[in-house]
Structure 1
Amino acid sequence: MKTGLLLINLGTPDSPSTADVRSYLREFLSDPRVIDLPFLGRWLLLNLIILPFRPRRSAKAYKSIWTEEGSPLKVEGMKLTSELNQFLKQDQVRWYWQCVMAIHR
């Protein structure tokens, strides 16, 4: 039996600007696994209700937590990936390990 470790991040905007947050929300929320509606319902919800208003408010929230290094979610996820790789390498004589961060964007 093989054992694996997968870290997944659903993504983050490229910056806390309204345009980047809008782009991220459009891409993320267009996924039918995120909003479980038929295409037309998802499109209407996204383009008439969410995208005209939410990016501006979300951008303000992102700006309040954004760091010099970037998105805290991405930065901390990459740190965790690096630390896990260092920890798992200690046992590399018996096992081969590689930890990667699967991040959308």
Structure 2
Amino acid sequence: MHNKNVEEEAYWDKQKERITLFLKYNYEGVDKITFEDTYKLPTGTVGIDGYVNDDKELDFSADIDSGMNFEAGGSTSAKLADMSKKEYRVKKKTVSDILKENNSINN
């Protein structure tokens, strides 16, 4: 039982790191991210809700397909959507694409 809890906590932590990277890359002025709730839907999809910059009107809900890592799915409040970087308003850059770009810069 203990190992399962440790594995599950590690999974949630990894998803929070990926969500943080996604938000800071695709949105202007994201300084702080607060995660409020993690949950599993009957479909197997998992979700993480939170908000940015200590403003609960800048909220988001990240969706993650069962057994996968967070890439870009979910929803944001209109106020947070207004903070999208101009080049990512139509299509957000996925976490995998951000990581690939960072690896090519660092190599």
Give 1 or 2 for the bigger CA radius of gyration. Answer: 1
Smaller-chain TM-score range?
A: under 0.3
Q: Which has the higher contact order (CA 8 A, sep 6+)?
A: 1
Question: Counting helix residues as a fraction of each chain, which structure ranks higher?
Answer: 1
With normalisation by structure 2, the TM-score equals 0.26
Question: Counting strand residues as a fraction of each chain, which structure ranks higher?
Answer: 2
With normalisation by structure 1, the TM-score equals 0.26
